[in-house]
Amino acid sequence: MSGRILIIDDEELFREDLATLLRHEGYSCETAADGERGLRRAEQEPFDVVLTDLVMPGLSGIDVIDRLATAAPDTTILLITAFGSLENAVSAFHKGASDYLLKPVIPEDVLAKVKICLSHRRLRDEVRYLRRALRDSGTGSTLIGTAAVMVALRTLIGKVARTDSTVLVTGESGTGKELVARLLHESSHHGDGPFVAVNCAALPHELMESELFGHVRGAFTGAINDKPGLFEHASGGTLFLDEIAELPLPLQAKLLRAIERKEFLRVGGLKPVTTSARIVSATNQTLEREVAEGRFREDLFYRVRVVEIRVPSLRDRREDIPLLAEHILRRLNQRLKRHVVAVAPEAMTLLTRASWSGNVRELENVLERAMILAESDRIEPHHLPVELQGDGSPGEAVVDLRAALRAFEREHIHRVLAQTGGSREEAARRLGIDPSTLYRHLKDSDS
């Protein structure tokens, strides 16, 4: 079995004897006399397995493991330790070591454990390959598009996925921010762990803290048992906090501590709970403005936005609309048990000219409506909403300006209501009108 191995140990004779043993078995093996040099090699080239001593001058084995978790997260680490320091090595496993070897090492033990590490690595690579194949087949998570902005987006996701940095995904509603978060998760070394998504705007304020951080028995009326929160459920994976701007200020302080310290207290609890979840947040708000207006903590803003990934609007990549439409039709045919296989050229022209304020989500809704109305296997212009039928064609546009404005107003109100999960109070706040005005508009549109 081939494999690239790096040995980090300050004892030259031990280091070279171990390298000779591994090379004799066919492994490619390099050595480093201390932690700093070993880390530099691991950052320059990928290694399958790193064997590092625990006690060394300068950087300790614990320091090496801690920094390798960020610099080379896919590398498997074996800790080398003397029997007397075994208890001190426990923290190494919390940092990411997979196993340990006791000095003086037994050659058969070394070879067996290295072989197991390489087998696990191969299995992990196969799982990732199958996940990519599943995504590419159209049944999993994928970002459709060949526009330059989409190529740049996929490249950025690939780079960021190799780190544990917190990520803020921004963009308009309907652009696919959760899809980006899922791809980050699946492409990272957290990919085998859980992906837990929570819409902060949909959580009742009085239950937010308990839902995110859990509670202990007796913390409040109705807390009859201990309950782990979403941070605990996501440990070892990714916690996706959608609409993070909706978190109230007191909870933002607790979130900041959880991100910085990787620990938190359950509601009513006294014992800290640790988590290894990676935090990915998303918002369609401008967080800088929220900070300036005192609705979002500045320190939390910088903590969640270590890396920002902005998802382009559909208007910024109109050339992708035909490809997206084909992909969406394939999915809708499976769900609706239909066989609509094409969009007529005239209808496609209308789709590519539309404003798409609701982005890909709006395109999906329009195509689903059109598919339901289609009498044949092709979507025609008259299957599209009337406001799209007039796009770019003055002769077909709605000539009654007041009727056009009412149609736009009705569509916009219902779109904002959908974004807020049906909350009329929240929709009125986002629209900048009184709730009573919103009720009147809804009543008029239903009559």
Please tell me the distance from the alpha carbon of residue 127 to that of residue 96, in angstroms, as a whole number: 20
The domain boundary residue, chosen from 310, 329, 350: 310
Please tell me the distance from the alpha carbon of residue 322 to that of residue 343, in angstroms, as a whole number: 9
Query: Which residues form the domain of 43?
Result: 4-129
If you count them, how many residues does the chain have?
447
Radius of gyration of the chain (CA): 27
**Which residue blocks in 308-423 are alpha helix, DSSP H?**
321-336, 345-353, 359-373, 386-389, 401-419
Residue 136 lies in a domain: no
The domain boundary residue, chosen from 129, 163, 181: 129
Q: Decide the pairing of beta strands 49-53 and 76-82.
A: parallel
Dihedral sign for Cα atoms in the order 223, 225, 226, 228 = negative
Judgement on whether residues 125 and 153 belong to the same structural domain of the protein: no
Dihedral sign for Cα atoms in the order 389, 390, 394, 400 = positive
Judgement on whether residues 409 and 275 belong to the same structural domain of the protein: no
Judgement on whether residues 83 and 164 belong to the same structural domain of the protein: no
Judgement on whether residues 175 and 239 belong to the same structural domain of the protein: yes
Judgement on whether residues 124 and 156 belong to the same structural domain of the protein: no
Please tell me the distance from the alpha carbon of residue 99 to that of residue 413, in angstroms, as a whole number: 57
Q: How far does Cα 341 stand from its chain's mean position? A: 32
Is residue 355 within 8 Å of 313, Cβ to Cβ? no
The domain boundary residue, chosen from 277, 310, 343: 310
Report the CATH number that the domain containing residue 107 is assigned in CATH.
3.40.50.2300
- The tens-digit pLDDT sequence of the chain (447 residues) is 568 899 999 999 999 999 999 999 889 999 999 999 999 888 888 888 999 998 888 888 888 888 887 777 778 899 888 765 556 656 666 667 888 888 888 999 999 999 988 888 777 766 665 555 555 544 445 788 889 999 999 999 989 998 889 999 999 999 999 999 999 998 888 888 899 999 998 888 778 899 999 999 888 888 888 888 899 999 889 999 999 999 999 999 999 999 998 889 999 998 888 888 999 999 998 999 999 999 999 999 999 999 999 999 999 999 999 999 999 999 899 888 888 989 999 999 999 999 899 999 999 999 999 999 988 889 999 899 988 875 443 333 344 455 556 666 776 777 777 667 667 777 888 887 877 777 777 666 554
Residue 137 lies in a domain: no
Structure tokens belonging to residue 210: 């308990």
Judgement on whether residues 342 and 364 belong to the same structural domain of the protein: yes
Please tell me the distance from the alpha carbon of residue 329 to that of residue 370, in angstroms, as a whole number: 10
Q: Where are the beta strands (DSSP E) in 61-205?
A: 76-82, 99-103, 167-170, 195-199
Number of domains composing the chain: 3
Judgement on whether residues 152 and 118 belong to the same structural domain of the protein: no
Residue 412 lies in a domain: yes
